[in-house]
Amino acid sequence: MARKAADGQEPLKKGETPLSRQFNQIKAKYPGAILLFRVGDFYETFGEDAVKASKILGIVLTRRNNGNADDHLAGFPYHSLDVYLPKLVRAGQRVAICDQLENPAEAKGIVKRGVTELVTPGVSFNDQVLDNKRNNYVASMAFPSSAQNVYGLALLDISTGEYMCSQGPLAYIQKLIQSFLPAEILYPKKFRNQFVDSFGDQFHTFSLEEWIFTYDFTYPLLTQHFKTQNLKGFGIEEMPLGIIAAGVILHYLAETEHKQVAHISSIQRIEEDKFVWLDRFTIRNLELIHPSQEGGVPLISLMDQTLTAMGARLLRKWMVLPLKQLSEIQDRQSGVGELVQNQDLLDLLLSYLKPIGDLERLISKVAASRINPRELVQLKKALQQIPLIKELLWDNSQGSLKKWADRLNPCSTLVDKIELALRDDAPMLAHQGGIVKTGFLAELDELHLLSSHGKEYLQDLQKREIERTGISSLKVAYNKVFGYYLEVTNSHKDRVPPEWIRKQTLVNAERYITDELKVYEEKILTAEDRISQIEYGIFQELIREAMEYLELIQVNAQGIATLDVLQSFATTAQKNHYVKPELLDTDIIDIKEGRHPVIEQYLPVGEAYVPNDVYLDNESQQIIMITGPNMAGKSALLRQTALIVLMAQMGSFVPANAATIGLVDKVFTRVGASDNLSKGESTFMVEMTETAAILNNLSSKSLVLLDEIGRGTSTYDGVSMAWAIAEHLHNHPKSRAKTLFATHYHELNQLADDFPRIKNFHVSVKEMGNKIIFLRKLLPGGSAHSFGIHVAQMAGMPTPLVLRAHEILRHLEKDHIKEDHDQKLKDMPKVNYQLSLFGAEIPAGLKEINDQLEKLDVNSLSPIEALLKLNELKKMINYKL
């Protein structure tokens, strides 16, 4: 019978080595992760991992020559971990770092190894993996066990300790996910299909076993972590699905070997009621934080004038979560106002904020014992700015900024301790000395003296002993066997003092040691080691000390982040000439000379942005119907109105001459997508169903942007739908949502005749002969006709084509709302391309174009599709002729 080995393990299998067995055992514990296995000075990957790693990292893949196909191998030097790890994580991999847990020199048998950290896209402290201007959230989503539409969501940024959860209908969870854009989402394996249905493959994900997503398992995880009896104090007790989602994240942290997480000191409930509801299309369409297409410029890139990383992160949050509470907004607004009005205050604040860096992540690293000496010095430097800022605000602020003077804490005892102990040029590594200042500890100074002035000391000793004994040829020397010794030539042997101990006799000389020499030798040889050890101890002590300040520093970090965002608003306002909006709890939006904050910055040189007034209320002008040709500026007007409202509710100043904003509770956007039909009927249906659902949930405080709604379908469907939606918004018994409706269906102008709160406007243009000049002014009244064909002409379409298009248009315009569609098709003037385009004979090469034109169903084309088609035909003509 095979006996177990001394270490209690089964005997090695055939082809197995102790190392490969150790690898397999560890690997099995971290399925789905690439295992970086430390062997000597290298991190090695094996098998499938090696194939993946070599591809992602561009490192050499080798194969061990034992015929085993699985025996791939790829590695890199351990000190390059910071270079390679981020690449793997950014490629969406989970990476388990397996280190040697004991000194190989002291190991009996195979070196003990274990995974010290599992880095995933959502759980990382690594500066190279993280983007300091963004939070790096891991999210977890809990699904309902019954058919209820209630889901749970939790988010954690381990690098800052921010932890929050919520629960609500799927659309709400989708919106949160779209706002926070987590780096990784956890969900139960069983719900894979549902998850993919809702989110596609947009996110890095990890699925976990079903049993983890249970209330009974997760609730105690949270109470144990926070050391509380229950979760009432966090306001989440009544959110079972939010709790499950949150608990799953804690479980995941333990699974990924992140066990020192004291900086996660509380959990917040994401309060749906506190923030303006922006549906996910709105976030995208308004390009608040992401460009909607490549090359686009999101609003944040303009508004981000922050100087600290935590300020930048907070700004992102404020931008996707504008406030609804008047007092809170006014508080921010008055802070910005103070800074805008007091240039000296603003300038000094900027100069004090600049050196602060990422205080929030530094204190998290303290909690996780991941801070290095250089970073601890940076933490001190950041804290040294606090008293300056406190004093500045104390002396200069009469308003809301003053409260920060109270809340910030200089943590002076900690600062003094770090200042006293750590060198300003302390290194990144904690184990190799060079950390502690001279003069901090006598023992250390002596050791430094010993190591750096060792030879001097020995010469000194030699001199002293020569003087004392009169042995002029006395020498202090060193060899490996005896260490330091005194050598005396035979002629002076009799002068050797009795306390010297003879160690070796040579032909001409004797070698001795003395107590002093041995004590000194001990000191010299171990000085370096001792220095590193003592310095490491001092450093650890400082970390412990800093831990005591965890919460105070977290409050400081929040304060600095807030001040930084306020100054960013102030700086942007000054730079771009924004004004302070007046916020009221009324139902009026009154913008004078409003501008689009982004477009105005990117106009061609010499062109000025044309400002416009927009007025909406619940009594006389609830819905404005904006017509105008393509490219006139309808979308820009819609977006700028929503952006001005949202910027106001973020607490920022706004691009206008004056603005009175009645607070808004929801912003809903729908842009008619020209590609709905090509995406298939079902997508269109889904979008319409969603639109209906949201339209039913609007209130009189909501703002709705409908841009070319209905464009994704045929003209008649489009007009009917747009018509019905406008009617619905106007006649809704409970809400009078303020609406901006941009459309190229000038038929919709008729609505204003029947519905008192619908008003027609148009974006003005001037027609000069065959040309259109865009004036971009919003003026009362509708447009008599569409201009798509003019635009086509401007784009260089051949004149005969444009004339034919006019002919079709005139026909359609006769009265096509009332008439029957089929009848219209029957009545359509007969096409005579031969005559109108090319004369009686069609040249052989143009037959194809003719065929295409004949097949074309003009009624089912949206203006964009028509343009594209015309363009295509034009290219064919150019090519054929």
Ligand X SMILES: Nc1ncnc2c1ncn2[C@@H]1O[C@H](COP(=O)(O)OP(=O)(O)OP(=O)(O)O)[C@@H](O)[C@H]1O
- Nearest-approach distance from CB 709 to ligand X, in angstroms: 12
Binding-site string for ligand X from residue 155 to residue 184, where x marks contact by CB under 6 A and - marks none = ------------------------------
- Nearest-approach distance from CB 613 to ligand X, in angstroms: 12
3-state DSSP helix/strand/coil percent for the chain, to nearest 5? 50, 20, 35
- Nearest-approach distance from CB 869 to ligand X, in angstroms: 16
Task: Report which of 367, 353, 432 is spatially closest to residue 125, judged by C-alpha positions.
Answer: 367
Stretch that binds ligand X, among 340-348, 536-544, 633-641, 721-729 (CB under 6 A): 633-641
DSSP 4: P
Q: Taken in order 688, 689, 692, 693, is the CA torsion positive or negative? A: negative
| Residue 636 found at the interface with ligand X (CB under 6 A) | yes
* Pairing verdict, β 758-768 and 738-743: unpaired
Q: Which amino acid is at 649?
A: Q
Q: Please identify, using beta-carbon distances, which residue of 253 and 792 lies nearer to ligand X.
A: 792
630 is in an annotated binding site: yes
Can you give the C-alpha Rg of the chain in angstroms?
Answer: 37
635 is in an annotated binding site: yes
135 is in an annotated binding site: no
DSSP 413: H
Count H helices and E strands in the chain, helices first: 31, 27
Stretch that binds ligand X, among 41-49, 135-143, 627-635, 722-730 (CB under 6 A): 627-635
Q: What is the DSSP string of 73-111?
A: EEEEEGGGHHHHHHHHHHTT-EEEEEEE-S-GGG-SSSP
Stretch that binds ligand X, among 120-128, 409-417, 631-639, 826-834 (CB under 6 A): 631-639
> What tokens does 775 get?
């004036």
- Nearest-approach distance from CB 349 to ligand X, in angstroms: 34
C-beta separation of 852 from 873 below 8 A: yes
| Residue 808 found at the interface with ligand X (CB under 6 A) | no
Distances in Å between the Cα of 357 and the Cα atoms of 382, 390, 411, 425, 562 are 7, 17, 17, 17, 14
Which residues make Cβ contacts (< 8 Å) with residue 247, sequence separation at least 6? 217, 218, 219, 221, 222
| Residue 614 found at the interface with ligand X (CB under 6 A) | no
| Residue 609 found at the interface with ligand X (CB under 6 A) | yes
# residues contacting ligand X (CB under 6 A): 13
| Beta-bridge partners for 422 | 436
777 is in an annotated binding site: no
| Residue 628 found at the interface with ligand X (CB under 6 A) | yes
C-beta separation of 705 from 637 below 8 A: no
Among 553, 561, 631, 751, binds ligand X (CB under 6 A): 631
Q: Where are the beta strands (DSSP E) in 628-692?
A: 658-662, 666-671
Angle made by CA atoms 830, 836, 838, in degrees to the nearest 5: 130
Q: Please identify, using beta-carbon distances, which residue of 527 and 671 lies nearer to ligand X.
A: 671
Stretch that binds ligand X, among 139-147, 487-495, 624-632, 852-860 (CB under 6 A): 624-632
| Residue 599 found at the interface with ligand X (CB under 6 A) | yes
632 is in an annotated binding site: yes
Place of tokens 């490629």: 91
Per the document, the length of the chain is 881
- Nearest-approach distance from CB 677 to ligand X, in angstroms: 18
Instruction: Report 858-877 residues binding ligand X (CB under 6 A).
Output: none
Q: Please identify, using beta-carbon distances, which residue of 601 and 859 lies nearer to ligand X.
A: 601
631 is in an annotated binding site: yes
Among 610, 725, 729, 740, binds ligand X (CB under 6 A): 610
- Nearest-approach distance from CB 636 to ligand X, in angstroms: 3
Instruction: Report 739-798 residues binding ligand X (CB under 6 A).
Output: 776
Which residues make Cβ contacts (< 8 Å) with residue 587, sequence separation at least 6? 617, 618, 662, 700, 701, 736, 738
Stretch that binds ligand X, among 219-227, 298-306, 632-640, 683-691 (CB under 6 A): 632-640
- Nearest-approach distance from CB 722 to ligand X, in angstroms: 14
| Residue 591 found at the interface with ligand X (CB under 6 A) | no
| Beta-bridge partners for 483 | 479
- Nearest-approach distance from CB 764 to ligand X, in angstroms: 11
Task: Report which of 27, 232, 33 is spatially closest to residue 120, judged by C-alpha positions.
Answer: 33
Residue ranges of the annotated binding site for ATP are 628-635
Residue ranges of the annotated binding site are 628-635
Q: Which residues bind ligand X (CB under 6 A)?
A: 599, 603, 609-610, 628, 630-636, 776
